[in-house]
Structure 1
Amino acid sequence: MTSRIQQLRSALIWLALIIPSAMLIGSICAGFLMSLHYVTDARFASPWFIYLLPLGGLLVGLLYHHFGGKSDEGNNLIMDQIHAPGGGVPTRMAPLVFLGTIITHLFGGSAGREGTAVQIGGSIASTLCRRLRLDPDSVKVLLMCGIAAGFGAVFGTPIAGAIFALEVLMIGRIRYESLLPCLIAAITADWTCRLWGAHHTHYAISYLTSIDPPSAFFHLELGIFLKVILAAILFGLAGTLFAKLTHGIGHVFKSTIKYPPLRPFIGGFIVIGLFHLVGTPDYLGLGVWSNNPDAVTISSLLSSPEIHHWSWFWKLLFTAITLGAGFKGGEVTPLFFIGAALGNVLAWVLNAPPSLFAAIGFVAIFAGATNTPIACTIMGIELFGATHGIYLAIACLIAYYASGHSGIYMSQRIAIPKFNDQDLAPEITLKELHSKKNKRNK
């Protein structure tokens, strides 16, 4: 009886920690989403804002150079603190990344929003841990809850948010003991965000929308299934390309431009040059919506049969330069665009349903770039329904393997290698692995 009372007491204490912090994270994410919508509309109304992108980059660079400290490490810092709690995540990370992302989007930088939400969640959770002087194990759990809350709130996918927080830390292993706290945090943050009136984009695909139950719960066609397998390999390789190009551009900027604030300043001019090269603003900003009904957006790629052969490449290049130069924001929403656009082209090549393959690419490239196939499968089902669950699952898993030991988060640790590799040290990070390979190649 005493043990039951202790368990109940422990559960109540955790709820008292998780729910208020998740509500705060959800509230800030609501403000962030509303602000993002406002500045994007402002950029649509004033297209000349793009020419202020270098100055916006300089401002972001100066803010982080003088006030950022460890905050510039972003999501990787949060992961490092979960693996080995130490100094914690700075409280200033939340306002800095909020402001930095808003500036990036106001002037047309190609970036996302997930990184911002996750860093807000991690910063608030870490601050709470320091104030309450929690033990290292509790710190790990609360930081994971912060990731889940931020991710779930910003995308409106709380189940995927909870799984993502657990799966993203270790390639090949999930800590199930933290699943319930993360799920509670993600649901609470998502509800709070919605209560504030923040709206999430409704994604819909036209393929089999009129199918009647019970077939609506599962759909499997052998020909399409085989085409999905082939496409998934390419989605995984595209995720690898995005990760390596973004890191590579970042390395070039850091090695050639020693004064950090100048990196996004110069990067802004390169983005402007690309904008004039392609002759369209479609690859600026989030890419979720546009004031131009003929623009290429994530929504149009999911709903229109029109083929856009090189949109995936241009969005990939715009985003890799934006983030590699030091602008702030996430990688995930641009990955959604890249995956949907690549799926759109592959559907044309393989004679497959364009909207279905755009939806599959939407989540599969995300799975390959972040090494989170389970979270991405669940996200696909949360966004597009269970009808295409088999296609989504197989695509995410194959993309995960096809991407190899690469990813956008260099602090991810390899718990179980994707392939037999006797040279891998136990729980080596992607950063350490790539450094080891570079030394070997030299």
Structure 2
Amino acid sequence: MKKITRIKKNHRLIVFQKLVLTAAIIGFLSALLGNTLKKITEHYESIFFTLARQHWMLYLLFPILGFSIIYFLRQTLFRKKENKGIKEIYESTDSKTKHLPAYKVSSHFINGLITVIFGGSTGIEVSTVVASAAIGSVVQQKENLFKRYKTQLICAGIASGITALFGSPIAGLIFAYEVISRKWSRSFLLTNGVAVAVAFAFTYFVDNQPLFSINVLPWHLHALPYMILLGMIAGVNAVYLNRCVMLFKQKFAAIDKHHFRIIIGAGFVSLALILFPQLYGEGYHAVKELISQSGHFNLSLSFALTLLFVILLKPIVTSLTLVSGGDGGVFAPSLFIGAFLGLLTASVLNTYFNAGVLPVNFMVIGMAAMLSASIHAPFTALFLVCEAIGDYTLFFPILIVCLISKTTAKLIYPYTVYSYSRV
């Protein structure tokens, strides 16, 4: 009996040691992938966007060129399999037999990069998430001992990828739980905790700069009702974003010839970029520009209409990017729309209702509110945005507004782009 007990104890210790080591490897590889994709995308997006601003005809060329390259690569290198985003992760975690193949790492890395640098109006976040999940899946398949820990190790890759992009291990951990796993367990906390710790250490020494450089100002209680209003408006806009993506996917699925999808989608994306260059790529360049000038804007009719049209067009252009073959999701578009929505709301309140709210604070809160409502993950949005700006001054109002925006969105429409794929 003692011998059996000793064997069982040693077996648990071996499993524990292997899980820790495997999670650390997944964390490092996912952080390396996420950080590399982020840096390469930022570099080439800036170059291509500058060229397009100097030669407007490139706005017409870049989207069709990018979508065509992605289609060519799919047909020749990636087994003629279309990238499905988060749905691929659900298909793997919900099944005992399906796995994320190794080629999904390079597929999402390359396609995500090409999509954004050629003007596709989405971001690299979902590409990073799926590629990181594929790392976790591939590593898990190497050891029969880890069959029962499949979801935990996939989530470890996901959490590490988010950590690398935003420098927030808490956001990575909570995203893996809120959106993918939805189950806490000791093995989940162990594997994901080790992975994000390694990913954060890597990110801290390699890239310790927040995504957005913002001087957040102290908030006042009188602004809270207006912030709650912003949360409700963000909830409505999040439903509009998700419904746009679902509608365009449904309509474009009826088009058999893929080159028609590319021509139609790229044509509309190009036209939108000519009219509103802010929509180019992930759009963080436009958000940073707005942040730097948020204290100097006067609400003229042309400025208000520009903000409004960008907010309304972004979901449509994002949808067209995705249905034309682009790789991405609603992560970056949510942050983008939220910033513009926050600035527009603050400007209207200050101009017509003498509210005295701070536009820069509303931009930050708007980003969190839109992300929370779009993916139904309020705590992910809370920590992610606070880390993205490197400041927790607005922690409490962001928490309140994220919960309100998510509730508003769910009351109007119970699904997100992610959860609808599971129905």
Do the structures match in fold with TM over 0.5?
A: yes
Match of 2:51? 46
Alignment map for 1:225-236 (pairs within 5 Å): 225-236=224-235
Task: Measure, in 1, the Cα distance between the counterparts of 2:164 and 2:399.
Answer: 23
Match of 1:72? 83
Residues 259-290 of structure 1 show CA distances to partners (whole Å, capped at 9, x for unaligned) of: 235423431111112223x2x4111112112x
Residues 344-401 of structure 1 show CA distances to partners (whole Å, capped at 9, x for unaligned) of: 1111233322111111111111111111112112223333433221111111111111
Query: What is the Cα deviation at residue 167 of structure 1?
Result: 0.6
Supply the AA of the counterpart residue of 2:193.
Answer: L
Aligned with 1:365 (options 357, 364, 370) = 370
Q: 1:312 to 1:15 in 2, by over 3 A?
A: same
Task: Measure, in 2, the Cα distance between the counterparts of 1:229 and 1:176.
Answer: 34
Match of 2:360? 355
Aligned with 1:266 (options 264, 267, 287) = 264
Residues 20-74 of structure 1 show CA distances to partners (whole Å, capped at 9, x for unaligned) of: 1211111122221121022112213421443232122122123234525555222
Supply the AA of the counterpart residue of 1:161.
Answer: G
Q: 1:192 to 1:182 in 2, by over 3 A?
A: same
Does the 8 Å CA contact 2:236/2:409 hold for their aligned counterparts? Answer: yes
Aligned with 1:120 (options 128, 131, 142) = 131
Match of 1:19? 24
Output the TM-score relative to the length of structure 2. 0.85
Task: Measure, in 1, the Cα distance between the counterparts of 2:313 and 2:338.
Answer: 12
Task: Measure, in 2, the Cα distance between the counterparts of 1:345 and 1:45.
Answer: 26
Q: 1:138 to 1:70 in 2, by over 3 A?
A: farther
Supply the AA of the counterpart residue of 1:124.
Answer: I
Match of 2:160? 149
Q: Secondary structure at the match of 2:392?
A: coil
Q: Secondary structure at the match of 2:417?
A: coil
Residues 133-187 of structure 1 show CA distances to partners (whole Å, capped at 9, x for unaligned) of: 34442111101111111111112211101110011036xx542541342232123
Q: Secondary structure at the match of 2:415?
A: coil
Supply the AA of the counterpart residue of 2:403.
Answer: L
Task: Measure, in 2, the Cα distance between the counterparts of 1:198 and 1:92.
Answer: 30
Consecutive unaligned residues in structure 1, runs of 5 or more: 209-218, 290-295, 413-429, 434-442
Residues 199-240 of structure 1 show CA distances to partners (whole Å, capped at 9, x for unaligned) of: 5523424422xxxxxxxxxx661x222222221111111111
Match of 2:278? 282
Does the 8 Å CA contact 2:175/2:380 hold for their aligned counterparts? Answer: yes
Residues 74-115 of structure 1 show CA distances to partners (whole Å, capped at 9, x for unaligned) of: 211112212323220121111111111221122211111111
Q: Which stretch shows the higher mean deviation, 195-204 or 328-337?
A: 195-204
Q: 1:317 to 1:184 in 2, by over 3 A?
A: same
Task: Measure, in 2, the Cα distance between the counterparts of 1:86 and 1:24.
Answer: 24
Alignment map for 1:18-37 (pairs within 5 Å): 18-37=23-42
Does the 8 Å CA contact 1:368/1:401 hold for their aligned counterparts? Answer: yes
Consecutive unaligned residues in structure 2, runs of 5 or more: 350-354
Q: Secondary structure at the match of 1:344?
A: helix
Match of 1:213? none
Output the TM-score relative to the length of structure 1. 0.82
The 4+ residue runs of structure 1 with deviation greater than 4 A are 1-8, 68-71, 196-200
Q: Secondary structure at the match of 1:304?
A: helix
Supply the AA of the counterpart residue of 1:258.
Answer: D
Does the 8 Å CA contact 1:298/1:337 hold for their aligned counterparts? Answer: no
Q: Which stretch shows the higher mean deviation, 306-315 or 319-328?
A: 306-315
Q: Secondary structure at the match of 2:92?
A: helix
Number of residue pairs matched by the alignment: 392
Q: Secondary structure at the match of 1:297?
A: helix
Supply the AA of the counterpart residue of 1:37.
Answer: E
Task: Measure, in 2, the Cα distance between the counterparts of 1:5 and 1:302.
Answer: 58
Task: Measure, in 2, the Cα distance between the counterparts of 1:359 and 1:283.
Answer: 19
Percent identity for Structure 1 against Structure 2:
23
Task: Measure, in 2, the Cα distance between the counterparts of 1:330 and 1:191.
Answer: 27
